[in-house]
Amino acid sequence: MALPLSGFSLCAIFFLLLVQTQKASSVMLANLRNHNGHNSHHQRKPLIQANQTSCALFMGTWVRDETYPLYQSSACPIIDPEFNCQMYGRPDSDYLKYSWRPANCELPRFNGLDFLMKMRGKTVMFVGDSLGRNQWESLICMIWAAVPPRSPTQIIRGDPLSTFKFLDYGVAVSFYRAPYLVDIDSVQGKRVLRLDDISRNGNAWRAADVLSFNTGHWWTHKGALQGWDSMDAGGSLYQDMDRLIALERGLRTWARWVDANVDATRTRVFFQSISPTHYNPSEWNAGAATKSCYGETTPLSTTTYPGVYPDQMKVVEAVLRDMNTPAFLLDITMLSAMRKDAHPSIYSGELSAEQRANPDHSADCSHWCLPGLPDTWNQLFYTGLFF
């Protein structure tokens, strides 16, 4: 027969629970460090979600933070016009004042000098589409804000490879444009997407010490935005196929390349999850009459995914799970879905006055303003890399 608990016993139990909770909080990032440590690369299976550790990095809330942004757009030398919302007239700035708070741990604040010291003499390379370029430019801005004013730098712009160097530290931060990761060849004037071949692109990635990949958006494009004329799979040409099947075949080609060519004892591999878009306001506002993210100024506060969770994520997770080489999934999908306010919308240097006047047809609700959301991606990248 259970005995009733006295008031003293209840207090004692509460105190013990509080102590245990505090102890757990203090070791969350230590556990993450052990889980991601360089020395365990050859022993562990790939991380599919950081919340397999006790620190749920990608589950949490956006909170107002007056210490943000981490840099000013006018002080960064590399922001493309399509991401430079403040320069191109965005009237509000509250979207700059949010930081990500994981549900059960503190996220380390990004430290640009610490990043350079730990990466001294090494290369970080982002590989993928314009969302990868968004993150690449963000990281450069975040580091730039921390280095001494006269510290020499060098930028080498090219296609597909661009590199920004922090010369005093021997650190190179590169972006390699490969929207599908796999190769595209020109055959008799036609663009052929090689779902089974990545050898040409892969040659450019071999020397990097940290590789961060992304793909996704280009696999869904049709019409004038489609980046290929036919697909080659197994030696046969296809005018089209189920895009999820094509994505999986291309990603498995990428995964085989990583397993065959990456030495996990010296090279870290990250994969940025699918970056969400906000073209359908009915996903977060049932009575919305608009057709874009234009005019959105605050994040969503939600514990459920607004709209339809990307089917592409199932493909990404399945491929990463089957890899032999550890690949850290930078799972930014849910936390980014909450940031309907963080897109360039019509505040992009590439838009004409006529386009700005018609946001339902011209607003960019795919990319992200800088400063802005990709800075949080890089704070999480920094955490996964070093903690």
Return the active site residues: 130, 364, 367
Radius of gyration of the chain (CA): 22
User: Which spans in the chain are helix H?
Assistant: 7-36, 112-118, 130-144, 199-202, 243-261, 312-322, 333-337, 353-356, 359-362, 373-386
Contact 21, 104 (CB under 8 A): no
What is the C-alpha separation between 19 and 324, in angstroms, rounded? Answer: 39
Single out the residue of 158, 162, 212, 219 nearest to residue 193, CA to CA: 219
Contact 204, 172 (CB under 8 A): no
What tokens appear for 107 in the block?
Answer: 């996220």
Strand order in the sheet with 190-194: 184-187, 190-194, 230-233, 236-238
What is the C-alpha separation between 253 and 194, in angstroms, rounded? Answer: 10
Classify residue 364 by its DSSP letter. Answer: B
What is the C-alpha separation between 303 and 97, in angstroms, rounded? Answer: 21
Tallying the residues shown for the chain, one arrives at: 387
Classify residue 46 by its DSSP letter. Answer: P
What is the C-alpha separation between 42 and 32, in angstroms, rounded? Answer: 17
What is the C-alpha separation between 241 and 238, in angstroms, rounded? Answer: 7
